[in-house]
Homo-oligomer: A and B are copies of this chain.
């Protein structure tokens, strides 16, 4: 590797600036114990020599890496992309670099992955939608390693996390559907291992209760947030003798798939059946009819996650709990007032 040849190290800088390399190290780390004049001279030399501190060496020696790790399940839906955008913005402003890891990539040794990172590769970790966070959380809390969870509903542990008001969002959305006149609402759940999915389901149920609408088990389809579930779930509903007049999916991806199913059955949205999503991913506004949905402030969640991490970095002993950002219903074209006919003669509509 001839790289070694032309790489400038703190030793080079020290020699050039006429100081010991220890002093150079201090300058790099913004140590106060450096005469301003000396510091300036060193900085100037670094600039002139085009010096860049070696990451691995720094972390090996036990210092800061100025890098934070981001663990995401994948980059598929744009959902994650929004969150990353927020994180990225904050990190950039703060002068941190971003190391991206998709857990998909190391599915088997996920935990080992984390423990590796925890060993100094990065200064902190942001875990987006962690699948089985209890594995990590143990290690990290124990080692007092800075981390923040994004969009994960605590499994009981009490740790820094950013989420949104899933329960309230689902509650409000359901209420809205009821106000439109819908009484038979089919609900497609997310992956119930995730707290967020459970909360959405509970919000839905609570709203029915509040409105004194009976909860029919047949009108709840258990999905996993995956596209196919939206499709299958919707078909299940539509094949009932008395199908629902509205379908509320636990995320936009499933809602979109549900729309497909509805259309295949020859029904119109929203005239014959209303569709409600959750998340407000970028596509939601682009499709036709555009999707009425519960908006999670994804980008903002990312930003705040980063901010919280910075705060932990600064005050390790400060207590950080879960932060919930408000969700918001975004009215679009996929929902509409229930029509009388629709209520009474579902079959007529079915084959209009």
A: residues with CB less than 8 A from B are 1-4, 6-7, 50, 52, 54-57, 59-60, 62-65, 67, 70, 74-78, 81, 84-85, 88-89, 92, 97-102, 105-106, 112, 115-116, 118-121, 143, 256, 259-260, 263, 282-283, 286-288
Contacts and interface: CB of A to CB of B under 8 A. Distances in A.
A112 B52 contact: yes
Contacts of A1: 62-64
A63 B4 contact: yes
Nearest to A65: B56
How many subunits of this chain does the assembly comprise?
2
Given A57-B60, A74-B85, 16 more contacts: A7-B120, A52-B112, A52-B115, A52-B120, A54-B60, A55-B121, A56-B120, A75-B75, A75-B84, A75-B85, A78-B81, A78-B282, A98-B100, A99-B99, A100-B100, A260-B288
B3 A121 contact: no
B7 A54 contact: no
10 contacts: A1-B63, A7-B119, A52-B115, A52-B120, A55-B116, A77-B78, A260-B288, A283-B283, A283-B286, A287-B288
A120 B54 contact: yes
Given A98-B100, A256-B286, A287-B286, A3 B81 contact: no
Given A99-B99, A101-B98, A60 B52 contact: no
Contacts of A7: 119-120
Contacts of A75: 75, 81, 84-85, 88
Nearest to A290: B260
A290 to B, nearest CB: 9
A146 to B, nearest CB: 10
Contact of A56 (B6, B121, B283): B121
A63 B119 contact: no
B287 A119 contact: no
Given A52-B112, A98-B100, A282 B76 contact: yes
A324 B349 CA distance: 51
Contacts of A118: 3
Contacts of A63: 1, 3-4
A142 B55 CA distance: 22
Contacts of A92: 102, 105-106
Contacts of A115: 50, 52
Contact of A76 (B77, B81, B116, B286): B81
